[in-house]
Amino acid sequence: MDPISQGVLGAVAACCSARKENMRLAALVGWAGGMLADADIFIRSSEDPLLNIEYHRHFSHSLAFIPIGGLVCALFFWALPRPRAPFKTLYLFATAGYATAGLLDACTSYGTQLYWPFSSERVSWSIISIVDPLFTGGLLVLTFLAWKKRARRFALGAALFVASYLSLGAWQNHRALAEVEELAASRGHQNIQRASVKPSIGNLVLWRGIYEHEGRFFVDAVRVGWFSPPRAYPGPNLEVVTLDQLSNDLDPDSALADDLQRFAHFSEDYLAWSPNQPNLLIDLRYSAIPNSSDPLWGIEIDRSTPDRHAPFRTFREVDDEAQETLLNMLMGKDL
C-alpha cells in the first residue's frame, strides 16, 4: 500500500506490544519498520527497466526476511545518540512494525513474494486498494490517540479496525467475483478458465473484473454497493496472449526473452496487446477506469532487437471525462 498506510500500521503493531512509558518510541520505531520494506523501490537500473518491478515487493516483503528487516531498523535506532531503550526493546518494536509490510501488501492486488525464498509466487489477495483513504484515515486517528495518551487500548482498537476492514474487503471481493461469474454465465460462457476481481482505487465498492473464456479476456466493472444490488458495467474483450506465443521464435538467452518471462510473471499472465498502441504488451489487470482496456503499464516489444531490454511504459494520466465516468460508476449511475 501507500507509505503512510504502511507506516501507521507498523506503528500500530509496535504499540500493541509496548508499555505506557515506551508508547511514543514504539510508534516511531514501528512506523519506520513498516516503511522500511519499501526501500526496495531503489533497486533499479537505467539499462534494465524491468529490474524495479522484478524486485519491488520481492525478498524485502517476504515472511522469511522479517527478522532481518527488523534487525536493520533496530540497528539504525540503536546507533542514534539516545536510543532511550534497550536494544531488545528496539528490536521488538522494529520487527513488529516490519512484519506488517508484506502482509498488508499481500492484501492488495499488486502481488507480493510473501513466501520467498521457498516460492516465487506473487501473493495478491485483492481485498483492499493500494490507496484507501478510509482505511488509512481510521488508522491515523486511532494511532494518534495511542501516541498522545500513551494508551495501548487505542492501538488494540486500531488492530481491531484493521481486521474488520480487511474482512469487509474479503467479503466484497467474494460478492464482486460472484457477480463476474454470473455475468459470464449470462453471456453463455459456462466454462471460464479463470476469473479475478480487483478493487478500484480508493474504495471497496467498485471492482475491476476479468475472466478468460476460449482464448479471450473479458473486462467488466462491477459495483457491489452496501445497500443496493450489484451492478455491472460491461467493457471490452481482448485476445489472450501467452508467453509461449511471444517466445516461440526468440533465443531463450536473449534480453527480450528474459523480459517477456519476467513481465508475464509480474502480471500473472494477464497479457494482451494494447488495442490503441502497436507493439505494446500490457498488464490487463489494471486500468484507471475499471471497465477499460487502457493500461496503467506495459512493455514495448521490438523483435528486431532481441538483445536489448524492452522499454517499460506507464500511463497514469486520467482526463476529466474518465474521472467523470469513474465517479458515475462509483455512484451507481448510468453511463
Residue 1: predicted pLDDT:
83
Answer whether 111's CB lies under 8 Å from 63's CB.
no
239 forms bridges with which residues in the sheet? 216
Q: pLDDT of 67-105, one tens digit each?
A: 999 999 999 999 998 767 899 999 999 999 999 999 999
Report the distance separating Cα 10 and Cα 40, nearest Å.
17
pTM of this structure: 0.93
Residue 307: predicted pLDDT:
94
- List strands edge to edge, sheet with 216-223: 194-199, 206-213, 216-223, 231-239
For residue 117, whether the previous peptide bond is cis, meaning omega lies within 30 degrees of 0, is yes
CB atoms closer than 10 angstroms to residue 240: 18
Report the distance separating Cα 218 and Cα 286, nearest Å.
13
Q: Hey, what's the cell of 203?
A: 474504495
Q: pLDDT of 205-235, one tens digit each?
A: 999 999 999 999 999 999 999 888 999 999 9
Residue 68 three-state SS = helix
Residue 227: predicted pLDDT:
86
Q: Which of 70, 106, 69, 95 is nearest to 14 (CA)?
A: 95
Report the distance separating Cα 140 and Cα 146, nearest Å.
10
Domain boundaries, the chain: 3-125, 171-331
Residue 98: predicted pLDDT:
98
**Is beta strand 297-300 parallel, antiparallel or unpaired with respect to 280-283?**
antiparallel
Segments of the chain scoring below 50 in pLDDT: none
Report the distance separating Cα 71 and Cα 64, nearest Å.
13
Answer whether 196's CB lies under 8 Å from 208's CB.
no
Helix, strand, coil percentages for the chain (3-state, nearest 5): 45, 15, 40
Question: If residue 212 lies in a helix (H) or strand (E), which one and from where to where?
Answer: strand 206-213
CB atoms closer than 10 angstroms to residue 167: 11
Q: pLDDT of 277-298, one tens digit each?
A: 989 999 999 999 999 999 999 9
Q: Hey, what's the cell of 235?
A: 467493457
Residue 84: predicted pLDDT:
75
